[in-house]
Amino acid sequence: MNSYLDKFNDSIKNTIFFKLPPESQEFIKEKSMLLKFSFSEIKQIVDITRDLEMWNEQSIMEIFPQHDQKKVVFTRLKKAYEDLRSKPNSYENFELKNIPKEQKYTFKTADKEGFGLGLCPVASEKTRCCNLLTLDAVESCGFDCSYCSIQSFYNQNTITFDSGFKDKLLNLQLDQNKTYHIGTGQASDSLMFGNREGVLDALFEFARTNPNVILEFKTKSDNIKYFLENDVPKNILCTWSMNTTTIIENEEHLAASLDKRIRSARKVADKGVKVGFHFHPIVEYDGYLQEYKEVYDRLINEFALDEVALVSFGTLTFIKPVIKKLRDREFRSKITQMPLEDASGKSSYPDSTKVEMFKHAYESFAPWHGKVFFYLCMEEHHMWAKTFGYQYSTNNDFERAMLSSYANKLDMQYLI
Ligand code: SF4
């Protein structure tokens, strides 16, 4: 019995080896038999092979070093892979593959235990955070953004509504002498399912009966029908996640186009609803600064200062489960093809890249400085001073500054 073959077969068991193209499988096996790679080296080679395929870059066969010493081969292979990972990204010749053309999911209504209201799931003391409260009106999302962490939490084929949502919400006891900021766009998209199961009816009623709550609907959709057909309480904010057309077309699958998002925000603002824009994630690729600038300029040209409550910036941060989930899926994405550095336990761009993209974004909105609230989402404390020239010393200071600015724009009393 060939003991290394047994070892090899054992090594590939808990990897995505069998999801690789047959010719790549054959190649890895042949090279492993020849060079006797260890379990961990085989696992890494399998992940490298998958990433190259996902990024639409050269194949493992094309970058595999020619040498007869395992150590030399593995070192050179890792180097070639890291060079491809760190080179500036380009979507120019990028060919999408296995991208969902339509939303495929089923709806489920269940009596959910508990109530999905809590601190923002990605908030941390390691980052400067706004203490947002998130409300999970719906579980899972029908869009398919490659970088999204929701996909690692929920089954994407089932959209779940809580049959007890309305009662739980309207029975919520809040301190009437305090201003709250509650967002509904974390566990799903706030508007893509409209008023299904009466979710928007319940949320609007909640806003009406809790005038001390700033209720934010965050979306990538153009489904604003309910907002246009109903009276919108003044303590409601409607905000869009924005990106360039390059990223929307290549990484934010099934979500509304840039034009549709801007037009929807325009229509909602025309109704007197305060709007906002989240540039999160800003993604680095060839020519990205210019393409983002065009979007920033469009917003400055198409919206008046007093219509816009906020603009936020953020970028890609990955947790291991999301990277594993991405490799598991047999589609193309360039979203993980980036120089990854540790960022408070997650992986993200080097600080120098972040400073470049955030300073560029903030400076592009100079006409709105001091009149619209700008913030960084999920970023480390020091990034604020480097981006804005100022920073908050605590998350509570950040929250106070944000809520008093929003309350002022919404013509509400700010209650501390
Ligand atoms: S800054 Fe971003 S991550 Fe932090 S609490 Fe606010 S929304 Fe959540």
Q: Encode pLDDT of 334-357 as tens digits.
A: 999 998 888 777 889 999 999 999
pLDDT given at position 154: 62
Residue 8, pLDDT above cutoff 60: yes
Instruction: Report which of residues 407 and 187 the model is more confident about.
Output: 407
Residue 22 burial class via C-beta count within 10 angstroms: exposed 0-12, middle 13-18, buried 19 and up = exposed
What CATH fold (topology level) applies to the domain 106-409? pyruvate-formate lyase- activating enzyme (3.80.30)
Grade residue 94 by pLDDT with cuts at 50, 70 and 90.
Answer: very high
User: For residue 380, how far is its CA from the centre of ligand 1 (angstroms)?
Assistant: 11
Q: Taking residues 184-188, report their average pLDDT.
A: 85
> Given ligand 1 and candidates 127, 218, 377, which is best to mutate, with the most ligand atoms within 8 Å of its CB?
377
Which CA distances in Å does 227 have to 157, 221, 233?
Answer: 27, 13, 10
Per-residue model confidence (pLDDT) at position 113: 85
**Alpha carbon separation from 413 to 21, 234, 409 (Å, rounded):** 60, 12, 10
Tens of pLDDT, residues 43-71: 999 999 999 999 999 999 999 999 999 99
pLDDT at 132: 96
pLDDT at 122 over 90: no
Write out pLDDT tens, residues 372-401. 999 999 999 999 999 999 999 999 999 999
pLDDT band at 255, cuts 50/70/90?
very high
* pLDDT of 150 strictly over 80: no
- For 279-308, the pLDDT digits (tens) are 999 999 999 999 999 999 999 999 999 999
Gap from CA of 368 to ligand 1 centroid (Å):
22
Sorted by sequence, the CB contacts under 8 Å of residue 366 that are 6+ apart come out as none
The residue whose C-alpha atom lies closest to atom 6 belonging to ligand 1 is 130
Structure tokens that stand for 336 in this block: 């993980």
d(CA 379, ligand 1 centre) in Å? 9
List the domain boundaries for the chain.
2-86, 106-409
Residue keyed to tokens 């109903």 = 230
User: Residue 398 CA: which ligand 1 atom is closest?
Assistant: 1
Q: How far is the CA of 364 from the centre of ligand 1 (A)?
A: 22
Residue of 70, 147, 145, 150 lying closest to 116 (CA atoms): 150
- Give residue 256 CA to ligand 1 midpoint distance, Å: 23
Closest CA to 296 of 282, 315, 309: 282
What pLDDT, on the 0 to 100 scale, is given for residue 2? 64
Q: Which residues line ligand 1 (CB under 6 A)?
A: 120, 122-123, 129-132, 377-378
